[in-house]
Structure 1
């Protein structure tokens, strides 16, 4: 807290707000005491004498005493120096009032009161402390609000930076997997290799140029997933069967780009391998409660489970979901009857 306030002191409140405060405060005191005494001339003179002293003490406290002692936790020294300042203020204020305004240095008191009496010293010091406390509270509150806004801006910047980093991880991750597939086809001298290169170039255009926005149309993401499935079908041939089902109107639905592909990739990781078939079904729904429901399901063989090595896909998505939706999303993955199931619900923003 003290560190935050210390940083805020380097960014003072605009001069116009200082002037506005002191002019307003002066007018309130002028009208208040003029009405109290029925003597606006006296009120004007006394306030003209006292306000410069108020201002000097206030700014001495705000810009010297607090940064030098309070922010450095030297509280005893703060009390000592503030007390000395108050003694000096009392002497100067009382003397100026006596010589420039009135010989009756405390007209609001009952009976005749002399300068440097205990009651008069106490009254003046309390009055000065009131001004100091009021202005200091305003200054610290303004600095706290400014610091909070800075921290919020910094957190937002950090959030966006991390999201960009996580999104950028998806792209090389995907291309790495696809290039591995292409390498396998080349080793096999498969005629499908050229088709994979063509399909990969289409996907690269999408990844490199079409996903720069924070959100893209769900239809674009589905087309991207469809292209990925076509790549897998080129690799595995007719061993892969896939189905995409859409329920509800998704024309205007937007989601963060590259959010869903890792789930599809994961289906192939968990799916059968070698000469086994791979059956995959994908489901999208724009629900009535303004939630996007995504489901993916594929056959699962525990004995064929691929050992994960340097995997970043699903963990990456989980982190992105936390940053984007906090606790407003639902993600479930489970195995039911040799079937790997993914359920994701996110709000449609």
Structure 2
């Protein structure tokens, strides 16, 4: 390239091929070195632009692939909810059918209402908080039909719940968990406390239940165990760390879950 530049300058422009340096019409070593350094600067600059463009394009592609992967994983986690939920509910119906219980038709009716919600109201990323709370209430009614006087549920809802959004089927696993650790392991009286409130654009959800010594049952409802773990994964994929808080564990003779989520 330096030799080509020298010949073109000498033949077409001027015999003084090095105007910015000592006047010369010869191809010297000094001329070649200086011209090479000049071309090196140009090549380096162009290469830097090319590398930057490639890096930006690859970063954008990686970001898009990561987003698609997260969306795929989130859809998979949401698709797990319905089978897991129906498995537990069908186990309840099966247990009642063995006893030839008159409560079986009522439970099937409640289950159909929940299925309607799952089929038509959970396809969106966010759902009205009011509908999600109604789903929780229907599930509680379903369990009350089974347990009768053995189960006492205290539900308290406060704050402005209208026009608030929440991922669908996010609260149900906590309620299921309360029955798994309480009502389904106890033949005696079981108390479940649920408190939901809206404060400063945050949903505060707290549920506690009595713990009891396990009893032998015809149906084991602990198959799967994806409930709360599923919720944690969904939260990590959908929200920033400052937008939610989830704590759960045993406290004295009760099992407690505290959940805080930004819904404003």
Q: Specify the TM-score bucket, using the shorter chain as the normaliser.
A: over 0.9
2:179 alignment partner, one of 268, 275, 280: 268
Report the Cα offset of residue 240 of structure 1: 1.7
Higher relative helix content: 1
Matched residue SS, 1:258: coil
Report the RMSD for the aligned CA atoms in angstroms: 1.8
Name the structure 2 match of 1:259. 170
Q: Contact 1:166–1:316 (CA<8 Å) still a contact in 2?
A: yes
Counterpart of 1:30 in structure 2 is none
TM-score (norm 1): 0.71
Structure number with the higher strand fraction is 2
Count residues in correspondence. Answer: 259
Give the structure-2-normalised TM-score: 0.92
Q: Which position in structure 2 is the counterpart of 1:91?
A: 3
CA contact under 8 A between 2:126 and 2:167: conserved in structure 1? yes
Structure-1 residue corresponding to 2:197: 285
Structure 2: tracts of 5 or more residues without a match: none
Map 1:1-349 onto structure 2 (within 5 A): 89-109=1-21, 111-272=22-183, 273-288=185-200, 290-303=201-214, 308-328=222-242, 329-348=244-263
| 3-state SS of 2:241 partner | coil
Q: Which has the higher contact order (CA 8 A, sep 6+)?
A: 2
Structure-2 separation of matches of 1:163 and 1:279: 33
Q: Which has the larger radius of gyration?
A: 1
Which runs of no fewer than 5 residues in structure 1 stay unpaired?
1-88
Is the Cα contact below 8 Å between 2:84 and 2:224 reproduced in 1?
A: no
Q: CA deviation at 1:278?
A: 2.2
Q: Equivalent residue of 2:101, what SS?
A: coil
Q: Is the 8 A contact 1:292 1:348 kept in 2?
A: yes
The alignment partner of 1:284 has SS state of strand
Give me the whole-angstrom Cα distance separating, in 1, the residues matched to 2:215 and 2:15. Answer: 101
